[in-house]
């Protein structure tokens, strides 16, 4: 949907509430990881403990199994940083020393070797924990730097066409919420978030007399306006980390029935991110006061979007959209206000910190 002065028309449906937040999913991922580490640790420990050492072959297997105790420690470092790694190293030590006490008591040569092994487990936990923690810190810093660069780009457009930035921040929050609901992966959501923020950055390349024209555009002016997805793609595509987002920026004015621009793509040929974005963008455009349209209520905006299901919008995305209750959208809207002191819903790939507003 167009943002700014020119947008397409949109226009009732049953309401239902299928409100799901993504918090439980994150918590369940965490629980699954804890469970996997625990199963891995216990399986290796039980196998190690029960393999007899009477024959040379089985002693070799016994020692190989002992080395596998490093696996849960490293997994804990990757998923839960230093603290998690130290915690699992403590459990490995407790379980392993019980095995040593009951099966190897008095075998001093073996015991020295076994203590050395425990020391190595702790060393591995510390090294892996510190290195993974440091790497995550660098990645977080990089994500914040990217975020700053993207907001700066949108600010550049905002300097010409006011309210673009606020609109882009809201559309990003809406699009990510919709994307989560249709179970896009975290990587896809991160790309969708970038694209939603930058969708209209190509309007930087549209002349002021067209971009800021209060009245309707003539056909030639429309032609220029319709170049903004291509210009946007050209601006951001050279950035490696924005290459995927550029595809969505390029296709953000395509319509599900194939009557959009610039390529006239239809249905599944339009990237999923662009189909999700279209609904998020329409919601914000309809609920905003524009020169060509008074602000609509959520119910009215929802009716318009539902009426355009299958023409402008992917019916599947619309189906998911209508299942999300109004309060969820209101909450996101408030979080995006510059004066808001609400904790913003975390975006994929970034720290849960307030979105900078300039
Ligand atoms: Fe646009």
Chain segment 250-285, per-residue pLDDT in tens: 999 999 999 999 999 989 999 999 999 999 999 998
- Alpha-carbon gap, residue 358 to 348, rounded angstroms: 21
**DSSP state letter for 226:** T
104 and 152 together in one domain: no
* pLDDT reported for residue 107: 82
84 and 209 together in one domain: no
The CA 182 to ligand 1 mean position distance, Å, reads 23
Average of pLDDT values for 315-329? 92
297 and 329 together in one domain: yes
Residue 131 CB contacts under 8 Å (≥ 6 apart), including other chains: 77
Tell the burial category of 311 from Cβ atoms under 10 Å away from its Cβ (0-12, 13-18, 19+). Answer: middle
The CA 146 to ligand 1 mean position distance, Å, reads 22
63 and 115 together in one domain: yes
313 and 262 together in one domain: yes
**DSSP state letter for 347:** P
228 and 119 together in one domain: no
Residue 2 has which token pair?
């167009």
Q: Say if 347 falls within a structural domain.
A: no
Which of 34-38, 52-56, 159-163 is predicted least confidently? 159-163
The CA 3 to ligand 1 mean position distance, Å, reads 5
Q: Say if 350 falls within a structural domain.
A: no
Chain segment 99-109, per-residue pLDDT in tens: 888 888 888 88
Q: Say if 281 falls within a structural domain.
A: yes
155 and 100 together in one domain: no
With a cut of 60, say whether residue 15 has pLDDT above it: no
- Alpha-carbon gap, residue 176 to 291, rounded angstroms: 27
Q: Say if 345 falls within a structural domain.
A: no
Q: Where in the sequence is the domain holding 257, given as residue range(s)?
A: 141-335
Q: Do 195 and 358 contact (CB within 8 A), yes or no? A: no
The CA 6 to ligand 1 mean position distance, Å, reads 9
Which of 95, 113, 136 is a domain's end point?
Answer: 136
Task: Say how many Å lie between the first and final Cα of the chain, rounded.
Answer: 24
Chain segment 53-63, per-residue pLDDT in tens: 777 888 888 88
116 and 213 together in one domain: no
Q: Do 253 and 260 contact (CB within 8 A), yes or no? A: yes
218 and 190 together in one domain: yes
* pLDDT reported for residue 26: 62
């Amino acid at each position: 949907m167009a943002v700014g002065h020119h947008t397409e028309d949109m226009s009732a449906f049953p309401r239902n509430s299928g409100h799901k937040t993504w918090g439980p999913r994150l918590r369940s991922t965490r629980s699954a990881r804890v469970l996997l580490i625990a199963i891995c640790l216990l399986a290796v420990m039980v196998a190690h403990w029960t393999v007899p050492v009477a024959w040379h072959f089985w002693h070799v297997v016994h020692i190989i199994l002992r080395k596998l105790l490093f696996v849960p420690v490293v997994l804990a470092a990757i998923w839960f940083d230093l603290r998690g790694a130290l915690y699992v190293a403590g459990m490995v030590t407790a379980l392993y020393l019980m095995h040593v006490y009951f099966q190897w008591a008095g075998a001093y040569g073996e015991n020295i070797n076994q203590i050395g092994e425990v020391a190595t487990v702790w060393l591995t936990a510390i090294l892996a924990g510190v290195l993974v923690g440091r790497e995550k810190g660098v990645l977080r810093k990089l994500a914040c730097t990217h975020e700053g660069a993207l907001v700066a780009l949108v600010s550049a457009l905002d300097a010409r066409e006011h309210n673009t930035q606020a609109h882009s921040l809201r559309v990003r929050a809406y699009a990510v919420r919709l994307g989560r609901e249709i179970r896009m992966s975290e990587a896809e959501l991160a790309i969708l978030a970038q694209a939603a923020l930058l969708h209209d950055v190509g309007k930087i390349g549209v002349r002021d007399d067209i971009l800021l024209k209060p009245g309707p555009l003539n056909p030639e002016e429309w032609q220029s306006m319709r170049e903004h997805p291509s210009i946007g793609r050209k601006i951001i595509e050279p950035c490696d980390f924005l290459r995927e987002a550029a595809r969505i920026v390029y296709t953000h004015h395509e319509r599900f029935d194939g009557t959009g621009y610039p390529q006239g793509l239809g249905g599944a040929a339009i990237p999923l991110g662009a189909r999700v974005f279209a609904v998020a963008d329409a919601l914000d455009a309809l609920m905003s006061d524009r020169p060509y349209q008074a602000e609509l209520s959520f119910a009215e905006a929802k009716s318009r979007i539902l009426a355009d299901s299958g023409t402008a919008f992917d019916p599947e995305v619309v189906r998911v959209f209508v299942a999300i209750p109004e309060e969820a959208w209101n909450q996101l809207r408030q979080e995006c206000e510059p004066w808001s002191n609400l904790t913003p819903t975390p975006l994929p790939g970034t720290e849960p910190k307030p979105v900078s507003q300039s």
